[in-house]
Structure 1
Amino acid sequence: MSNHERETYTVTGKSFTAVAVNMAAKAGEYMKSKLGQATDVRVKTSPHDLVTEVDKGTEILIRKIIHTYFPTHDILGEEGVEPGAEASRLALEAVKDREYVWIVDPIDGTTNFIHGLPFYSVSIALAHRGEVIVGVVYDPSRDELFVAEKGKGAYVHGKRIQVSPEEELAGSLVATGFPTDRQHVLPLALKQIESVAPRVRNIRAGGSAALHLAYVAAGRLTGFWEANLNAWDIAAGMLLVQEAGGKVTDMNGEPYGLHVRDVAATNGRIHDDLIAAIR
C-alpha cells in the first residue's frame, strides 16, 4: 500500500471502512429493534415524503460514532438538512470542499420501514475533498452488508461482487423509483417508465435507491435510474456500482458528482441505451 493510500483510508491507525461498517451494523440493529414502533410519522416535503423518530435516532447514533473516532470530520446527513432540493444543494455546497465529509442516510426507504416492508437500508459514504472513497450500504432485514473502497473493489459478505453480464436492454431487469414530488417530477418519471418498459425484460420499484444501487453492483439488477435524489441517497451506492465494474452518470450521460440529483447506474453495457430510453 502506498503512503497516499494509507493517508486516504486511515487516520491514527483507524480504518475509515471499519468504522463505516461498525456504524452500519449498529444502525441496523437499532432500526430492527424499532420495527413496528414508528408511530410518530411526520411529513417532510409532501404526503409521500416521510420521516420518523427512528430516522432521527439512527442518525444521532451514527453522528456520535463519527465524532468519537473523527472529531474533525464534517457530516452531511438527511436529518440535519431542511426538506427540499434547494436546501440539499446548499447543504452540499457548504461542505463539498472540506477534507473529509461523511454522507449519511439513516434509513433509505422510510416508507417501507413504516409499513413493515423489508426493503430499506442505511447508507454511509465518506468523501475526501469531494470524491467518495468509502461506501457502505447495509440491509438489516437480510443482514447483507455491501462495502466498497475506492480502487479496491466492492464486496457483500466479504465476497467480491460484479455487475451483471447483459449486453442489451431487452434482456435487462432495471429499477426506478417514484419521486416524492408528485407535481413536477412524477409526470416525468411516469413518461420515462412508459418509454423504458417496452424495451426491457421488466422494471422494479423497491423504494430504496441505495439498495437498488447495491443490487446493480451485485448483478441482481442490470440498471437503475431515478430523478430528484439527494447526495445521501446515492453516494455509497454509486461507489459500489463503480467498484463492481459498472457505470454511474446523470440522466444526460454526464459523469457522476455529489451534486447529481438525476442518476442512472448500470452494468455499463446497457448504459447508453438506457440513457437514450429515459431521455
Structure 2
Amino acid sequence: MKTLHTMTRYFEEYKIRQDTDGMFNVQDIIDAFNERENSNKRLDHFWENNKSGLVRFLLSWAREERIKIDVLETKFGVDLSKNLNSGFNFSDKEIKDISAIKLAKAMKVYKTSRRKGEPTKRVSGVLMLKIAGWLSPEFESLLYSMAWDGLIKVRHFMGDNTQKFTDAIMKRFHGYYGERAYERFMNKANSHLLGLPPLKYKTNRVRDVMTEDQLLVADKVFDQMAVLLDEGYVVTESGFDQALSNRPNLVNEDGINLGDYIREINGLS
C-alpha cells in the first residue's frame, strides 16, 4: 500500500494541494477564491449557512452512494432506508440536531488533522465542488474538471517508474557526474517531455506542471529509459539524448541491436 502524499496542482496561478487519496486542501480553495475575487469568505461560514440544506445534501448523497449507512444511522438516528423512496425528503425533526461537520466527518468526506503543527482541513471532490458553488457558481464551474480528473492518481502511481529511472541514472552516470547525475539527466528527460528549455522548473517539481497526458507519457518514457540504461543500450550522454529523441539506433555493450532486443521482449523475434 502506497504512503499518502500531498501534491501541488495549479488553478490559474493559485496552488491547490491535493492528497493522493483524492482529498483537496479546502483552505487552498477558499484562499484562491478570496484572492481572485477580493473577498473574505471563511469555511465556518459554509458550515453555518443553510445548515439544514447541507445536512439534507449529505444524507441524500450518503443514501444514494451507500456511504457509511450503518454508521450514520447509528450515530445520527436517521433511517436512511426508510427514506429511500420518499422523494429524498428528510423532515426538520429528523435533522434538527445533526451537525453538518460531524456528518461529513462520519462520511469520511471531510477530514481534519495537524501537519507540521498546522491544522489541515481536507474535503472530497464532491464536497469541494459544493463549497466552490457556495463561493460562487462561476467558481464552481472553473473547478469542476479538477474534481474529476485523474491527475493526482497518475502522479502518484508513476512514482515507481520515476524511482526505477532515477536508480538507473545513478547506476550508469554517478561515476562521471557524482550526485549531480540525477538532476542533469532527469532534467533532460523532463525538458524533452515538456518541450521546455532545461532548468525551466526544479527537477522535483516538474510533475506539478505536467498535464495528465504528459504524465502518462512520462511514465512510459521513464520505464523504457530505465531499461535502456540497465541493459547497456545507453552508456553515454549522447546516447541518452539520442534515445530521448526517439531515434535509437543503439547497440548495447554485448553488441545486441536495440531493435532486435525490443522484438525479442515483445515475442516478435
Shorter-chain TM-score: what band? under 0.3
Counting helix residues as a fraction of each chain, which structure ranks higher? 2
TM-score normalised according to structure 1 size: 0.20
TM-score normalised according to structure 2 size: 0.21
Counting strand residues as a fraction of each chain, which structure ranks higher? 1
Q: From the CA coordinates, give the structure whose radius of gyration is larger.
A: 2
Highest relative contact order (Cα 8 Å, sep 6+), 1 or 2? 1
